[in-house]
Each structure stands twice: as structure tokens, then as C-alpha cells.
Amino acid sequence: MGRVYATRDQVAAYLATCVPDDAERLVARASEDIDAALLTAVYATDEMGYPAEARIRAALASAVCAQVEYWLATGEDGSGTAEVWDSVSIGPVSLSGRSSPPSPPVVNSVELAPRAYRTLRTAGLLPGEVLVPGEAPWPPDRELPW
């Protein structure tokens, strides 16, 4: 198994709702996607390959949580086999006639949740991002969800 960047508790805090029973599996798959998207990213790591800096660890955890949130919202499970439904009913709420959603951002052939993409971009981790020495790419005034 590869590196896992978020915990079940972090996902619960991010979603602010019940965590699905298969949260660990979703987090593992989302972590794989984040790893694949950041294949060419440059940042210091520890001996296990995890980011050495707390701000990078926080950004990866947030991106994983955003990826899981996106999958739950779109009916995906990280396998890429979700179907698009014409109508959905949950109790008194009914949705139908939904048009195709916009395509999610693709980085290194990985479809990222829009929030995951923004988190990684803001942290300066996406391919082609340039970090300026002495400048923190993660906004210091931004609160993390946990």
C-alpha cells in the first residue's frame, strides 16, 4: 500500500457530516490519485516519502479530503466507474434533468476534484508551479479545516 495523506477523522472534519463506512478505502484511493498528480512536484520528504514540512502535509491531507468529498458528491468511489443518473430522489428532495457536469481538472492524467486542484495549486505543488524562496505558497492567514 502507498502513502496515505489523511485520516478518517480528517475526512470527518472536512465533510462535517457522517463518514462513509469505506472511508479508509476512499482515502487510500484519493491518496494514490494525489501522488500520481504530483509525480513531478518537488518538496522535501522524510525517510518514508511523506512531506517533511507541516504545510505540505496539511495541503496533501486537504486535497485528499476534497477528492473524497467530490467522489461522494458525484457518486464516484475512486474507481472511475461512476454512472451519471438522470434523476435522483432522496426523501422529499428530487433532482432530474441534470446536464453533464464540467470536466474536472486533469493533472498528469489524474482527474482531480476542483477543490483538490485549488488546494494543490495554492500550495505550489502542481507541475509547473514555481516556489519563490522565503515565500509561503500556502496562505498563512487561511485556516485549515482541522
pLDDT tens-digit series, residues 8-51: 999 999 999 888 899 999 999 999 999 999 888 888 999 999 99
Domain assignment present for residue 121? The answer is yes
Domain assignment present for residue 69? The answer is yes
pTM (global) more than 0.85: no
| Tally of domains in the chain | 1
Domain assignment present for residue 97? The answer is no
Domain assignment present for residue 56? The answer is yes
Domain assignment present for residue 30? The answer is yes
Give the pLDDT confidence score for residue 46 in this predicted structure: 94
DSSP assignments along the chain, one per residue: -------HHHHHHHHTSPPPTTHHHHHHHHHHHHHHHTTT----B-TTSSBSSHHHHHHHHHHHHHHHHHHHHHT--SSS-PPPPSEEEETTEEEE-PPPPPPPPEETTEEPPHHHHHHHHHTT-STT--PPTT--SS-TTPPP--
Give the pLDDT confidence score for residue 59 in this predicted structure: 96
Domain assignment present for residue 93? The answer is no
Q: What is the average pLDDT score of the chain?
A: 79
Residue, of 82 and 57, whose pLDDT is higher: 57
Give the pLDDT confidence score for residue 86 in this predicted structure: 57
The residue range of the domain holding 57 is: 1-80+102-146
Give the pLDDT confidence score for residue 146 in this predicted structure: 46
Give the pLDDT confidence score for residue 94 in this predicted structure: 67
Domain assignment present for residue 87? The answer is no
